[in-house]
Structure 1
Amino acid sequence: MTTTHAPKILFVDDIPALCEEMVTTLRGEQLDADSNLSPLAAIPEIVQGKYDLVITGLVIAELGGFEIIRRIRGAGCRTPIIMITGFGTEQSAIEAARLGVADYLTKPIERKELIARVKRVLKQYATPQTEQPGSLVRMISGDPKMNEIFEKVKTIAPTDSRVLILGETGCGKQLLAHAIHQQSQRKQEPYVEVNCAAIPANLLESELFGHEEGSFTGATKRRVGRFETAGQGTIFLDEIGELGFDLQSKLLHVLDNGKFTRVGGNKELRSSARLVSATNRDLMKEVELGRFRADLYYRLNVISIELPPLRRRPGDIGLLAQHFINQFVPKGSQPPTFTPSTVEVLRRYPWPGNVRELQNVAEQLAVLNRGPRIEATDLPSRILQARPVETISPTAQRQVQLGFRKAKDQFEKEYLLTIIQQANGNLAEAARLAEMDRGQFYRLAKRHGLTTNTDS
């Protein structure tokens, strides 16, 4: 919420007289208040961010107060909510707190107390920033890891350091690069993108550095390259792992001294642009395989940022899906909201195409869906039929990077060590716990160097 407008408050309940009384009370304190008798009609407006505070009743015929909150939160909306009820119980208060309700009031409510509570919540959730917490230019997230990345970007963006962005295809590397430029001192200068994988290798040098007329067949006039166009701004080289070895050498020369020449030219030009690069490859592995220059890698990797894939931040899936739906619905139409069960189905899908795939699905749903809610049955069949995402432990992630024999040996050693520790160093007891023959267990422990403690 911003401080550039008077806070807008919405009261949701199905009792007309109560709605009228509440709005009159709030407006009497110069608060911009409105009411809605239909929760299903109110939720899309709330999710779009039209209100700075929502007050809702608990018992509503069309949709109960807790379900209203679940749908709002399930859509990724963090607007503060106050719940009012005439049937207050300890259990309902606990549930309200669990759902993140900002305040919980039971009737009868004194007018002064109501106003005081409303103003306290508005003050508590007010923020002077124009950006919402957990946002960065055109990126939003509720994931702690992503928010750490956003804060890191805000720290490094004002510097001139080169940045290497790592991550799977479609996870937002392009958006993050643009955000770095927008947060930097160079934001008034050009921002130039080059997708190194989308341009034929024989044309990429000309694309980057330009060429002179007649320098090769088809060069009918001089061309200004992307480094020259970037000037003192930012140049973003996406999929930099696709550069050929020859072009890597020429890029290294530019990074070393800022100098380059157009293809077929003799005039030395200078580049003052900041370089941000990205790749979905493991560049260190490419270096080890001799496909990427080590000296170039270290010049690119001054500061590295690794974006997690969407399946590793399931809490963002509902938030982003609703964000994209809001963008794609026709102007003037109310965007549909995702039911909690639909969000759960979306979270179980592995999203191999990451955020880009989710954006495409949201656009499809915005075009085809005409109801106020998106049910699980509205989702594409590949999502409904997908196997749930399996969480891989850090140990397993390390092991799958090893060969089978090394992974097996590592597992055996860790398993034996754990069992021996549980048996307080008694190998006979450890063998019993492992359901193994004592001699076999001893030989295996000895092979892994775990028999320094005497068997007791």
Structure 2
Amino acid sequence: MTNSQRQRILFIDDIPSFCEEIVSTLRAEELDAQSMLSPLEAIAQIIRGEFDLVITTLVIAELGGFEIIRRIRGAGCRVPIIMITGFGTDQSAIEAARLGVADYLTKPVEKTELVARVRRILADHAPREPQRPKSLARMISGDSQMSAIFEKVKTIAPSDSRVLILGETGCGKQLLAHAIHQQSRRAQEPYIEVNCAAIPASLLESELFGHEEGAFTGASKKRIGRFESAGKGTIFLDEIGELSFELQSKLLHVLDSGKFTRVGGGNDMYSQARLVSATNRDLLKEVEAGRFRSDLYYRLNVISIELPPLRDRPGDIGILAQHFINQFAPEGKQPPTFTPSAVEALRQYHWPGNVRELQNFAEQLAVLHQTPRIEVTDLPAHVLKRNAKPALAPKDMASERLPFREARDQFERDYLLKAIQDAGGNMAEGARLAGMDRGQFYRLAKRHGLTSSSE
């Protein structure tokens, strides 16, 4: 481990000679240790995540050891803590265990014993290399569903087959279409995007196929259409379910023969572009309803990829939120990071706008947030709202046939998370709101993964 990676240790006590003794002992073993005489100053630095291990004595004039621990834990900080006391009793040992102390030593402290326990705890809590999210062009994800989609894209991209991308608005269909182009043999050729829902139906034919001068009122000069501009590259038709029936017929002709003509023109043009399309509609239902041509649907749907909504890949929420924060942080400003409880709150939100909504939310935070950490209390009210992600009612649980234990665990987790959110991430306050013993509340929260310090 390099110096920049060395784990930092803080010792808290109000007796300078004892501080010097402990710090000297640890430094003699090449451990990065320092001491502080003021618990209040120490707590502020600990909560900011500046230390990897805290050692505190029980009796300190300014603030007792147990209260130090309560304040650290109450702020949601999960740094491991060793307590040293000259007044060891069964009761104090029990209280230390309830507060989540990693180890408990009584004076006089044997130097070799202290070093051994410190090394063991540091090893147990050493930062582990997180699993790196996978990337594809401008897309990143740590989700297994998305990983499978990335692999599928790498397989199909070199072909000339048409691809139909399905998924809700804002889930990343545009990015995936561009990734298909970038992974293909056409990557050096043009990539042309057309949003079929954003262009009036009366102008869309001209947009796609171009027009000749004088073809209609206002056509003062010849226009090159998107199919012609795409050349041998890729043309991406987004929201293709919005095409009128007449345009569907003309697109079908292009796919069948490769031929098209400019509006008002008589000469056949030939398209050599690969077509990738996308829609948030269920095209099969549109076919059944008579609003979409079945023959066009089957020509578009040679290979289909369905992108899951963000709510179905909660592991990506923290990854993407931090990615967008880093991306949008103003130049010269250190991007803030999310606390574990804030990430958990984001995961509980339904994200109806999918990745696009998360991106806009993160951009706002990146610009406006002024502190290094983003806490639960910094999140917008609509994200924290109780009904943002509806909980399963008893009737819903029954319809899903959840086993009793799973239903109980789900209720416990939702209840604890709501208490933590209402308490602004303060675990001690969350326990008070829930009317529970702090130790019991913390143990339950830990069991449900609501106290983890790593995401």
TM band (smaller chain): 0.5 to 0.7
Match of 1:308 in 2: 308
Match of 1:258 in 2: 258
- How far off is 1:318 after superposition? 1.1
Change (3 A) 1:262 1:360: same
Unaligned runs of 5+ in 1: 1-6, 25-37, 44-55, 73-82, 97-105, 127-131, 398-410, 416-456
Change (3 A) 1:40 1:303: farther
Change (3 A) 1:370 1:266: same
Secondary structure in structure 2 of the residue aligned to 1:204: helix
Aligned counterparts of 1:170 and 1:374: Cα–Cα separation in 2: 24
Contact 2:166 2:304 in 1 (8 A): yes
Match of 2:231 in 1: 231
Aligned counterparts of 2:133 and 2:167: Cα–Cα separation in 1: 23
Aligned counterparts of 1:58 and 1:356: Cα–Cα separation in 2: 39
Report the identity percentage.
66
Match of 1:79 in 2: none
Within 5 Å, which residues of 2 pair with 1:390-409? 390=390
TM-score (norm 1): 0.63
Aligned length: 330
- Which stretch shows the higher mean deviation, 197-206 or 265-274? 265-274
Match of 1:293 in 2: 293
Contact 2:54 2:80 in 1 (8 A): no
Contact 1:311 1:389 in 2 (8 A): no
- How far off is 1:40 after superposition? 7.0
Aligned counterparts of 1:158 and 1:9: Cα–Cα separation in 2: 43
- How far off is 1:191 after superposition? 0.6
Within 5 Å, which residues of 2 pair with 1:300-379? 300-379=300-379
Change (3 A) 1:327 1:216: same
- Please provide the CA RMSD for this pair: 4.1
Offset from partner CA, 1:315-370 (integer Å, 9 cap, x none): 11111111111111111211111111111211111111111111111111122210
* Residue 282 (str. 1) matches residue 277 (str. 2): no
Change (3 A) 1:146 1:71: farther
Match of 1:231, as an amino acid?
G
Aligned counterparts of 1:215 and 1:157: Cα–Cα separation in 2: 37
Contact 1:71 1:338 in 2 (8 A): no
Within 5 Å, which residues of 2 pair with 1:79-90? none
Unaligned runs of 5+ in 2: 11-22, 33-44, 57-67, 84-96, 103-113, 402-455
Within 5 Å, which residues of 2 pair with 1:64-103? none
Contact 1:86 1:107 in 2 (8 A): no
Match of 1:189 in 2: 189
Aligned counterparts of 2:315 and 2:358: Cα–Cα separation in 1: 13
Aligned counterparts of 1:9 and 1:20: Cα–Cα separation in 2: 19
* Residue 200 (str. 1) matches residue 190 (str. 2): no
- How far off is 1:150 after superposition? 1.0
* Residue 10 (str. 1) matches residue 5 (str. 2): yes
* Residue 267 (str. 1) matches residue 252 (str. 2): no
Aligned counterparts of 1:335 and 1:270: Cα–Cα separation in 2: 49
Secondary structure in structure 1 of the residue aligned to 2:149: helix
TM-score (norm 2): 0.63
Contact 2:318 2:343 in 1 (8 A): yes
Aligned counterparts of 2:309 and 2:392: Cα–Cα separation in 1: 13
- How far off is 1:288 after superposition? 0.3
Contact 2:9 2:53 in 1 (8 A): no
- Which stretch shows the higher mean deviation, 365-374 or 206-215? 365-374
Match of 1:401 in 2: none
* Residue 150 (str. 1) matches residue 147 (str. 2): no
Aligned counterparts of 2:158 and 2:272: Cα–Cα separation in 1: 15
Match of 1:368, as an amino acid?
L
Aligned counterparts of 2:268 and 2:247: Cα–Cα separation in 1: 17
